[in-house]
Structure 1
Amino acid sequence: MGQTGGPTILGVDVLWVATILSGVAAFAVMVALYAATTARDPMTKRVKALNDRREQLKAGITASTKRRAQLVQRNDTADRMRTILSSMKVLQDSQLKAAQIKLLQAGIRKKEWAVAVIFGRLVLPILIGGFMTVWVYGTDGFAEWSPLKKYALVAVSLIASYKAPDIFLKNKITKRSHAIRKGLPDALDLLVICAEAGLTVDAAFHRVARELGRAYPELGEEFTLTAIELGFLSDRRQAFENLAMRVDLDAVKGVVTTMIQTEKYGTPLASALRVLSAEFRNERMMRAEEKAARLPAIMTVPLICFILPVLFVVILGPAACSIKDSMLAGK
């Protein structure tokens, strides 16, 4: 009887494997097309609300009674956590202020979340660490482990649960700072154009935020907030310092220092921003060249694990099938 199946290598049907790989590749292409065609703009609603608020502040319109009640409404959960922390005497003003600054740098505007971060540092080690301690020492779940391994597991769970809120905030701050760094040179170029066109600083910030809001929503949000603060704060220096506080980037701090100096000494704003923009573009090009230089070393593992086996199957597969058919015919 003739052979009905397809060619095989080490007992595996080559046609079946090729079909599975083709299906995976088609699914990956569909996911890539979906991700490329479904771009979302999460900051449109936020920027619109900030613009409305700015117009209200400029016109001197006070909010309605209902709106004022919503603004001054207290968060019962945050109040309970604050009461618990205050009763235990573990809530310090410096610690609360540092948590609020981290929340601002992460893009979280609600100050009551600072109490939640401090409360999480206190409660998570008790819950997770206590659960792990009972599981390790109170049950036989890790009976085969040595005492050192048990102690290490409990210690790591305690430390990780204590650091979990800070790690979460640090991750969000890093992502947000990276997104702002990408759009900063373009924003400075637009600021130069606005300054040369005769716009004021707050109008220039507002215009740049509107133009770059879609491409760089994080940067657009920060510039919109700065434009609003420049419009109603009595000290314009404070608005620039707030921008440097909300963004954890040395580049933004340099821009803020330049803006403060131009406001204080009356130096040309366009020329200073043009120099900063050129420096940031050079820095971005250097980071891109650094990543490109690391690419060969990074691609070594995927090349060995995924590309070379497929190449061997394509090159040696027909030869192996021919040798197998010859051996079967010889028998």
Structure 2
Amino acid sequence: MPMFFGLDLLMLATLLPALGAALLIGSYATRAWRDPMTRRVRALNDRREQLKAGITASTAKRRTKLVHQSNAADRVRALLSSLRVLQDEQVKEAQRKLIQAGIRNKEWAVAVIFGRLVLPIVFGGLMVIWVYLLDAFPDWGALKRYGLVAGTFVLAYKAPDIFLKNKITKRTDAIRKGLPDALDLLVICAEAGLTVDAAFHRVSRELGKAYAELGEEFALTAIELGFLTDRRQAFENLANRVDLDAVRGVVTTMIQTEKYGTPLASALRVLSAEFRHERMMRAEEKAARLPAIMTVPLIMFILPVLFIVILGPAACSLNDSFINAKP
């Protein structure tokens, strides 16, 4: 029998696995006999300290950011007030458009008015320098140059309003698409016995993934219904935040239901059917416009290719016959 350091190899092969198993069992027993609560408490304390440090840091950063934003907004507001271009009606109108566009920060209203003042000066001034001082278009007449400069001034002045209108249109279209489904869910919640607050909260949670804009508005309405003393104000705020006649109809129905105690499920069911009919009518209208829209691409791109495919072989045959007929 071969030997290794004076030990039999068979015995050594038997003792080594036994020693490894004994060490493994001993380490497991040592861990098992330790108090698990000590480790958990230590881990919880470490996590609490990490969270506290993160919350403190994020709060400090948020506070610093808010202070900087408020200082900048105050400076812009003071500048516009000194120039006598900041009016309360303009600020309220800008805030209303921002809310309809999904921008909740009201301080951006001052930025919109400031953009109307600064953008024409910047872009219009650059265009004046480019056209007149640098003579960018020497072949153009005076009327064309004036039209380019005037168009730049007007477009720069309207740029913030165009941006807001575009965002409002996209947001309104997204809300319009999900409104019938939201009303169906409101009907189900009302028939299940949920209150209006709980129904709005449930619908916002269910529609948050499919229609994020509508879910956000319903969630905000549910919060206002729970905190405002006048519930009618919460529904009116929803109508002000969404520039859509269908939402105004829903708000009117909800206000009448709150005031007179009329059945909510039946009224919402009628509104849902009406909105679905309107959506179908819009789809049919788009389908009816499709032939007229396809006329121009058909004439410009499809018919020339079709004529080439049909008449090309005949033209080639006629050309070959004329060539062969020559003496």
Quick check: TM above 0.5? yes
For 1:278, which of 273, 291, 298 is the aligned residue? 273
Task: Show the counterpart of 2:66.
Answer: 73
Letter in 1 for 2:267: A
Letter in 1 for 2:218: F
Whole-Å Cα distance in 1 between the matches of residues 299 and 111 of structure 2?
46
Question: After the TM superposition, which residues 17-96 of structure 1 pair with which residues of structure 2 at under 5 Å, given as runs?
Answer: 67=59, 70=62, 73-74=66-67, 75=69, 76-96=71-91
Secondary structure of 2:202's partner?
helix
1:228 aligns with 2:223: yes
1:248 aligns with 2:240: no
1:106 aligns with 2:98: no
Whole-Å Cα distance in 2 between the matches of residues 324 and 313 of structure 1?
15
Secondary structure of 2:243's partner?
coil
Provide, for residues 160-211 of structure 1, a one-character-per-residue CA deviation record: whole Å limited to 9, x for no partner: 1111100110111111111111111111111111100001111111111122
- Per residue, is there more helix in 1 or in 2? 2
Q: Which moved more, 1:148-157 or 1:63-72?
A: 63-72
Deviation at 1:320, TM superposition (A): 4.0
Q: Specify whether residues 321 and 211 from structure 1 end up closer, same or farther in structure 2 by C-alpha distance, changes over 3 A only.
A: farther
Task: Show the counterpart of 2:140.
Answer: 145
Task: Show the counterpart of 2:161.
Answer: 166
Task: Show the counterpart of 1:182.
Answer: 177
- Larger-Rg structure: 2
Q: Specify whether residues 100 and 133 from structure 1 end up closer, same or farther in structure 2 by C-alpha distance, changes over 3 A only.
A: same
Q: Specify whether residues 203 and 325 from structure 1 end up closer, same or farther in structure 2 by C-alpha distance, changes over 3 A only.
A: farther
Letter in 1 for 2:289: R
Cα RMSD for the two superposed structures: 2.2
Letter in 2 for 1:228: I
Whole-Å Cα distance in 1 between the matches of residues 311 and 195 of structure 2?
70
For 2:120, which of 119, 122, 125 is the aligned residue? 125
Secondary structure of 1:110's partner?
coil
TM-score normalised according to structure 2 size: 0.76
Deviation at 1:117, TM superposition (A): 0.6
Gaps (5+ residues) in structure 2? 1-54
Deviation at 1:64, TM superposition (A): 7.9
Deviation at 1:222, TM superposition (A): 0.9
Whole-Å Cα distance in 1 between the matches of residues 315 and 102 of structure 2?
59
Letter in 1 for 2:303: L
Q: Specify whether residues 101 and 326 from structure 1 end up closer, same or farther in structure 2 by C-alpha distance, changes over 3 A only.
A: same
Task: Show the counterpart of 1:204.
Answer: 199
For 2:110, which of 115, 126, 140 is the aligned residue? 115
Letter in 2 for 1:242: N
TM-score normalised according to structure 1 size: 0.75
Provide, for residues 6-65 of structure 1, a one-character-per-residue CA deviation record: whole Å limited to 9, x for no partner: xxxxxxxxxxxxxxxxxxxxxxxxxxxxxxxxxxxxxxxxxxxxxxxxxxxxxxxxx989
Whole-Å Cα distance in 2 between the matches of residues 285 and 255 of structure 1?
19
Secondary structure of 1:111's partner?
coil
| Matched positions, count | 269
Which of structures 1 and 2 has the larger relative contact order (alpha carbons within 8 angstroms, sep 6+)? 1
Gaps (5+ residues) in structure 1? 1-62
1:156 aligns with 2:151: yes
- How many percent of aligned residue pairs carry the same amino acid? 76
Q: Specify whether residues 318 and 187 from structure 1 end up closer, same or farther in structure 2 by C-alpha distance, changes over 3 A only.
A: same
Q: Which moved more, 1:140-149 or 1:177-186?
A: 140-149
Whole-Å Cα distance in 2 between the matches of residues 130 and 240 of structure 1?
46
Whole-Å Cα distance in 1 between the matches of residues 217 and 297 of structure 2?
39
